[in-house]
Amino acid sequence: MPSSEPQGQWIVQIVGYKNTGKTTMVCRLTERFKQAGYKVATVKRDAHDFQMDTPGTDTWKHQEAGADFTAITSSARTAILKQHPETLQQLIGQLAEADVILVEGFKTEPYPKIIMLRTEADLELLRQCSHAIAVAAWPEAAALASERTDLPVLQIDQTTELYDTLLERFSR
């Protein structure tokens, strides 16, 4: 972490329903933290099964043969594929190098959360989610959210302000 900031790993969840801008928000915040010199890790919860490895590649063949773990490394990156799900805590435990971990999803986990709101129906997340620290809302939901919470409510495109809110929160 930059020397002017406190030590310790920061974990922030970005939660919301489908098509509320979670992935875009994770990307924008990742860019801001990287510009400031932080090591950033991201974790995504996918409600569906996903396929990361391309059929026909050597690692795909390893997985198809039944390998429980498959690792690949090159001069530019490393990936490890596992044939079992892991909890958020297990994933975080493997990301010790990161200063900041931005988690997309995992609504019920106990980490500080930014709640993404797009419509009035999304407002139920304000009462469902614990540990909320801010709201990032689409224009049609921002006024409604402001009426129903004491949390900072920012427009979804106010990533600099949201980044500043996170710095303030974690600098305490």
Q: What is the mean pLDDT of the chain?
A: 90
| Mean pLDDT score, 17-40 | 96
Residue 38 has pLDDT above 70, yes or no: yes
Domains and CATH numbers, the chain: 10-48+85-170 (3.40.50.300)
DSSP count for the chain of H helices, then E strands: 6, 8
**pLDDT on residue 58:** 86
Torsion of CA 138, 112, 17, 83, to 10 degrees: 140
Tens digit of pLDDT for each residue in 108-129? 999 999 999 999 999 999 999 9
Cβ burial of 168 (10 Å; 0-12, 13-18, 19+) is: exposed
The confidence band for 69, taking pLDDT boundaries of 50, 70 and 90, is: confident
Question: What's the pLDDT at 4?
Answer: 42
Opening angle at CA 136, ends 35 and 151, nearest 5: 110
Predicted confidence at residue 5, as pLDDT, reads 44
Considering only residues 11 and 56, tell me which one the structure prediction assigns the higher pLDDT. Answer: 11
- The confidence score (pLDDT) of residue 135 equals 98
pLDDT at site 6: 41
pTM of structure: 0.88
- pLDDT computed for residue 149 by the predictor: 95
